[in-house]
Amino acid sequence: MPSDTTKQPPRPEHSSGRVRLLILIAMVLGTVRLFESPPLQSANDRSRWATAWSLVERQTFRINEIRTHRGWDTIDKVKIGDDYYSSKPPLYATIVAGGYWATKTFLGWKIDPDNLETVTPVSRLILFLFNIVPTTLALGCFAQIVWRHGEISFTRNFLLAAACFGTLWSAYMPSLNNHTPAICCVVFALRAAIASVPGSLTTQRMLIAGFMSGLAVTFELPALAFLAGLFVILLKLTPKRAILAFLPMAIIPLAAFLATNKMAMGQWEPAYASYDKENSPYKYDENGVPSYWKEPKGLDKNADTFYVYLFHCTLGHHGILSLTPIFFLSLIGLFRIGKWRLSPLAAFHLLGAMLTVIVLGFYLSRTENWNYGGVSVGLRWMLWLIPFWLLMMMPAVDLFSGNRFGQGLLMLLMAPSVFSAWHPFDAPWKQPWIFTTLYPHGFFRQYDEPRITYEFPRRSWLSQLPAGDVADPDYWVELSGAGVDGSAITLRVADGGPIAVGNRAGRKIAFISNEGRPTQSVRTLIVDVESLTEGRSEGLLLWPEGEPAERQVLSDLELLCGVPVGAANGSPVLPAYRPGRRRYQRIGVRNDAFLCDTWFGVGARQTSSPGLPVVHTSSECWSTPELPFGVAYWNVETRDAQSQGVLAVRRLVVVRSGKFLELATEKTQEN
C-alpha cells in the first residue's frame, strides 16, 4: 500500500510544500478568473458597488444618482420615501467604500459612472484584496485544521484539494459578493475554536473566534445560528473566556452591522426583514413600472411546489449534491459516528449538521423567496457551510482511501464537483451547467415568461378601433421615426367615423404619412370592425363602391396588416401575428410607462427584379389599450430572403396622441 494511505499520528499545525503548492495554484487560478471577468456583471454586485460609489463620491447611502447611469441600475434596491437604497446590508458596502476611497486617494483611480472601463482596475484591485487574499489565508487555515486532525495523508490532501478546486467557494471570487467573505470568516472562526484540548483555547483564539463568527453573521444573517452554536460549544470548554472574550468580540461586528443600517435607512433591521410585508420597500411603482420584486420573473417568480423546490435544492438544477457530489461523502462521514464521536471535531460535525438543517429549513419556510438564490451557479445562500461539509467528509474519505478502487471512486466524485466550481469561468451570475444543459431539451420551462394569447388571432398592427356613432376628433396617434437611410418618417392614424357597407359595420381610418418628402400622402381604409376584432383572414376591408383591382386590394391590406399579403386561388392570404410577451415601455407621450403586449408578424413578397426574387418583411408592434388604435410602437424591416441583408427599415414610436384611453378588461390569458 502506498505510504500516502497509511495512518499516521496527528501532525503539528504546519504547511507542507504540497499544501503551499495547492493553495498557490488556487490563488493563481482565482486571480486569472478575476481578470477574465467583467465588473458589474449582475444586479447583485452592482447593488453594492452603487452604494460604495455613492458613499465616496456623494457621501450618502442613497443610490438615486448612480442608478440612472447606463450599466449601473439594479433590481436589488428598495425605495424608502423618494429615495433608493441598495437592498443589501450596508456594512460590507461601507467597507468596500473604504477600499475605493483608498484606491482613489493613493492611486488616483476614480470610477466614472459614464465610462465603465474605469470600473475595471478599481474592481480588480479591491476584489483581489477582499476575495483572493482572504480566501488564500482561509485555505491555509483550513489546511492547518485538516493536518492537525486528519489521520491519513491521502485524506488530508483530498480535503485540501476539494477546498481549493472542488466547491463553489471558488466560483464567486471574481464578483463582489457576501458569500466569499462569509466562508472565510467561518474558516477563521473554526481555526481559532477547534482545539485538541480546552487548555489550548487561549484568550487570543477566543477573541478571533468571537469576532470572526460575529462578522460572518453580517455577511450571512442565518449564520447567527453558527454564532450561537459556537458560543455554546466554547462555553462548555472554557466558560470564562467564552463570556469575557468571545462574546464581546462577537458583538462588535454585530453592532457595526446595526449601526450602518440605521445610518443608511433610518432603521435598525435590514431591508431583507421587510420583504414580505404589506408595504414592503421592495415593491413600488416607478414611472408606472412595478419594481422587479413586485412582479418577479424567471426563477424569482416561485413556480415550484415544496417538494420540487426541495429536490432542486439538493439533487436538481441548483442541487448541493448534484453540482458538488463530493458532499455525498459528508453524509457518509456524518453517519460514521464511531470514527469521530471522541474526536475534537465531534461537536463541530454535529454543529455543521444542525446548521445545514436549520438554514435549509429556514429558506424552505420562506415561500416568497423560493428562487434558489436567483440566477447563479449554485445554491449560494448555503455556501458558507462549505467548511463544515468538508470537515464532515473526513471519516468517509478515510474509508475509501485504503485502496485503488476507493480512491478512484473519490476521484469520480471530485471531477464533476471541480467542473461545477469552475464553469462558467468568468462569472458566477449564470445558471448552473445542469440547468443550461437540460434547458434546450425542454426542461425547466416553468420558469419561462408566459406568452400572451388572445381569444382571437391578430392580423393587423392596429389592435383596436374606436366606437361611437360619429368620428372622434381626439382618437388619433402620431408615430415618428427614421428609415434605413436616416430620413424622417411621420405617420398619423386617425378615426374617420363609422360607415355601413351593406349589412356590415365598418370604420374609416385615415393614414397620413410623410416619408422624408415635403408632401403628405393620405390613404383612407374602411375596416370591417368585426373582422378585425375577431382576427378573420378574409373580409377585413370594405369597399362601398365595390372591390378594386387585386393589386390595390393587396396594397391596402398590406398597409393595414403591416406585412406583405399573398394571394391564393384569387383570395388574399393574411398572415397572423405571433404573440410575444408583456413589457412596460416609456415612449415619451407621458411620464408613466405603458403596459404593452409585443407581437411579431412575417410575410414574403415576390418581386419583379431578377436579382432579388423574394424579400421577407417582419413587423414588430407593441400594443396597449391605453392609446388610440392600441399602438405604441411599430417596427418594419425588409430583408433580402437570400442574404438577409436589410433593404428597408421603419421604426416608428408614438410621439403624440389625441387622448389616453381608460383601461378595460381584455379577453387575454397567459400560457
- Residue 93 amino acid letter: A
Residue 612: pLDDT band with limits 50, 70, 90: low
Q: Strand, coil or helix: what is 254? A: helix
> What's residue 568's pLDDT?
63
Average pLDDT of the chain is: 91
> What's residue 638's pLDDT?
85
Query: What gap in Å lies between CA 18 and CA 85, rounded to an integer?
Result: 46
Burial class (CB in 10 A: 0-12, 13-18, 19+), 269: exposed
Best CA proximity match to 130, nearest among 104, 86, 99: 99
Best CA proximity match to 567, nearest among 577, 578, 558: 558
Provide mean pLDDT across the span 144-161: 95
> What's residue 484's pLDDT?
65
> What's residue 199's pLDDT?
82
Taking the CB of residue 625, how many other CB atoms lie within 10 A of it? 18
pLDDT at 429 over 90: yes
CA-based end-to-end distance of the chain:
62
What is the per-residue pLDDT across 507-556, written as a single tens digit (0 to 9) for each? Answer: 999 999 987 666 788 999 999 999 999 988 888 999 998 888 888 888 89
Position with higher pLDDT, 359 vs 566: 359
pLDDT at 13 over 70: no
Burial class (CB in 10 A: 0-12, 13-18, 19+), 180: buried
pLDDT at 442 over 90: yes
DSSP line for 453-522: EESS---SS------SSS--TT-EEEEEEEETT--EEEEEEEEEEEEEETTEEEEEEEEEEEESSSS-EE
> What's residue 487's pLDDT?
80
What is the per-residue pLDDT across 199-226, written as a single tens digit (0 to 9) for each? Answer: 889 999 999 999 999 999 999 999 999 9
Phi, psi (rounded to 5 degrees) for 548: -75, -170
What does the block give as the cell for 161? 484539494
Count of CA atoms in the C-beta half-sphere (13 A) of 153: 11
CB 579 within 8 A of CB 599: yes
Least confident among 43-57, 190-204, 223-237: 190-204
Residue holding cell 427599415? 649
pLDDT at 184 over 90: yes
Contacts of 239 (CB under 8 A, 6+ apart): none
What is the per-residue pLDDT across 383-421, written as a single tens digit (0 to 9) for each? Answer: 999 999 999 999 999 999 999 999 999 999 999 999 999
What domains sit in the chain, N to C, each tagged with a CATH number?
A: 3-274+302-441 (no CATH), 476-670 (2.40.360)
CA 561 distance to own-chain centroid: 37
> What's residue 367's pLDDT?
80
Query: What gap in Å lies between CA 33 and CA 424, rounded to an integer?
Result: 10
What is the per-residue pLDDT across 255-289, written as a single tens digit (0 to 9) for each? Answer: 999 999 999 999 999 998 888 888 899 999 999 99
Query: What gap in Å lies between CA 599 and CA 580, rounded to an integer?
Result: 5
CB 70 within 8 A of CB 53: no
> Could you check whether the bond before residue 424 is cis, i.e. omega within 30 degrees of 0?
yes
Best CA proximity match to 168, nearest among 446, 434, 443, 440: 434
On whether the pTM is more than 0.85, the answer is yes
pLDDT at 608 over 70: no
pLDDT at 3 over 80: no
What is the per-residue pLDDT across 367-377, written as a single tens digit (0 to 9) for each? Answer: 888 999 999 99
Q: Strand, coil or helix: what is 78? A: strand
What is the per-residue pLDDT across 614-626, written as a single tens digit (0 to 9) for each? Answer: 878 889 999 999 9
Contacts of 216 (CB under 8 A, 6+ apart): 182, 185, 186, 189, 223, 226, 227, 384
> What's residue 17's pLDDT?
86
CB 594 within 8 A of CB 587: yes
Residue 234: pLDDT band with limits 50, 70, 90: very high
> What's residue 303's pLDDT?
87
Residue holding cell 457530489? 325
> What's residue 279's pLDDT?
87
pLDDT at 11 over 60: no
Count of CA atoms in the C-beta half-sphere (13 A) of 241: 21
Provide mean pLDDT across the span 340-356: 95
**Regarding beta strands 476-483 and 594-606, do their DSSP bridges make them parallel or antiparallel, or are they unpaired?**
unpaired
Round the CA-based radius of gyration of the chain to a whole number and report it: 32
What does the block give as the cell for 300? 424569482
Q: Strand, coil or helix: what is 623? A: strand
Q: Strand, coil or helix: what is 36? A: helix
Phi, psi (rounded to 5 degrees) for 67: -70, -15
CA 118 distance to own-chain centroid: 24
**CA separation (Å) from 638 to 67, 275, 523, 631?**
37, 47, 22, 20
CB 557 within 8 A of CB 574: yes
Query: What gap in Å lies between CA 66 and CA 72, rounded to an integer?
Result: 6
CB 188 within 8 A of CB 138: yes
